[in-house]
Structure 1
């Protein structure tokens, strides 16, 4: 169908195009100047993104063998496997994704940061942050990435550690302004970040410290619109008590179906908590959505190395990744039952860098209203 023989009203054409996959829209930009203009407009990109988030979800997993990524499609049951694509970043065979937002991947390559849309095949190298750089500053858990809707801007937040290992500085990079700026100290200074998640305009950090030989955890949010930190109460999981043979091993922060979630890993089970009403009293909003025994999740004699929830279905099922000393798997669980199991690798892999990801038309090359043209070759 060309523009000349199309007799549909413009608003109907826009609605049809909004429901097409990203790859199709990239090809359709060549149909006419008006279609190219429409598909590139901000309001169309945001509208298509809201459709795409409902239509297709991809889980990306960095390959442990080369600078390639494996991705899996979760469109239908059972999980359908995808293909490979090459990383466009030169100078290193090792790179890792530390965040995903609106189809944009934030990637660390050595001590450099890139924002990349693998479907548009466009990427942007981020300028070096301010001041002296330490390797710890670029560990993924110290970096956050999200969208500031009040300014239509994507931002990277970097935490720094110095002065005997304490975090004392926060820097924020604005994609629109193409610059970094320093903020006040990150609270609290004696905690180390474990994971970060972007949700509802804020980057949330799960932090840990050791007190009297036991891990203690805290949860803070950083609002991208006002640069303010706020403490968020964690769910009231059972007190830590090694003597009861069910002591806490680890916590993991994630976002599922628009909900802030915490996975509590005990010695004998996994418990997943969800904050179903983000803007209400946090103490009353946490709800347990999964409680499953580890012996059901892991095969006999397997040693657990890591767990990560990916997706929460409408019927209450939860998809999560499981890494043991023998293999890497995707599981779908509900209540205390494993409903589906798919082996990704017959060996351990790095599950913490796996992200739920959507196709989008959001370009990382927009800076101060100007669209640049650097493309990747992947």
Structure 2
């Protein structure tokens, strides 16, 4: 549609454009200068993001080439056959997606960190607080959005080699700088972070404690830690009857969830009352005997919940050394399964993400038009 032939009111044009998928909007930038300006505005980018985009599962997968990093992307509603893509950065066959926020992925490849928008095909390499290219092996990282300051942030916890004390630093995408904060409050080793309600949440462990598991959150606005009660029936030992206890932290439909693999059971807990500090705020939404799943796979098995549907069904990824599959579960039943690919993947590094116009290159929430070359 040529600009001079458009007779619709500007607010109607904006509403129509805001309802389009992200990839269509990227093409629409070429229609006219006014459309390009509108689609690039911070206000429009945030408005389009708030309308809700198609959610997809993204799973890093091994590549035969050390110069390629592959990922698999599949839509959730409706579930369709996925696609394989190459990440724009290369040089290693080991990489993980630390977290996804507003269409931006925080990716760790070896000891380098990138903020990447797969839809825009843009990424940005993050330097360490000392200005070096690589992060050390003892760093734990989380990623999230500070809505008050309109700023995406990386939280870095550095564990000292000879102890459990951790130093805390935060990176601001807007200012492109690091700041040192108060240290991590407990002698736990943090791992497995997710972002929700303006806070980064960490599972942490300390084998020598009576209860080795803990859950902490860090508020990106207040820059304060707090400990959150885990479900009442979480195991208190890392090993129980020869079964290795595994905990997996995830966010399903805006709800903080913990997947517990304990003895012969796989239990998914949802924190229905996020702001309550009582263990009864947790509700069990899935309780499956592992033999229902293990008979389909060869051990070892890894699990990753991806999506919670309105009818209570849970979409979960399962991986063995033979293949990677998606299971649809409800209550204590496996309803269906689908093979994604006939090889293993690091399913625990998979995430649900949305396509968005948010760019990692410039001002937060503003669409940049150039591609990053790293």
The equivalent of 2:52 in structure 1 is 52
Structure 1: gaps spanning 5 or more residues: none
Distance across 2 between alignment mates of 1:117 and 1:345: 24
Match of 1:270 in 2: 266
Partner SS, residue 195 of structure 2: strand
- In structure 2, the partner of 1:279 is 275
Among residues 150, 173, 178, which one is paired with 1:152 in the alignment? Answer: 150
Count of equivalent residues:
369
Distance 1:302-1:163 versus aligned 2 partners, 3 A rule: closer
Question: What is the TM-score of this pair, normalised by structure 1?
Answer: 0.90
- Partners of 1:230 and 1:265 lie apart in 2 by 25
Q: Which residue of 2 aligns with 1:327?
A: 323
Which residue of the partner structure matches residue 169 of structure 1? 167
Q: Find the residue that maps to 2:232 and give its secondary structure.
A: coil
Deviations 1:125-171 (A, max 9, x none): 11222389763235xxx110000001000000111011514132011
1:203 corresponds to 2:200: yes
Counterpart-to-counterpart distance in 1, 2:276 and 2:77: 32
Match of 1:114 in 2: 114
Structure-2 change in CA distance of 1:271 and 1:257 (3 Å) = same
3-state SS of paired residue (1:366): coil
Which residue is 1:297 aligned to? 293
Distance in 2, matches of 1:307 and 1:170, equals 30
Contact 1:245 1:267 in 2 (8 A): yes
How far did 1:209 drift?
Answer: 1.3
Q: C-alpha offsets along residues 3-36 of structure 1, whole Å, 9 cap, x if unaligned? A: 3222222222111111111110000011111111
Q: Which residue of 2 aligns with 1:72?
A: 74
Match of 1:343 in 2: 339
| 1:325-373 Cα deviation digits (max 9, x unpaired) | 3322111100111112011232322111101010000011124899766
Superposed CA RMSD? 2.6
Distance 1:5 1:371, change over 3 A: closer
Q: Distance in 1 between matches of 2:269 and 2:225?
A: 22
CA spacing shift, 1:233–1:248, aligned 2, 3 Å: farther
**Residues of 1 paired with 2:8 and 2:127: CA distance?**
45
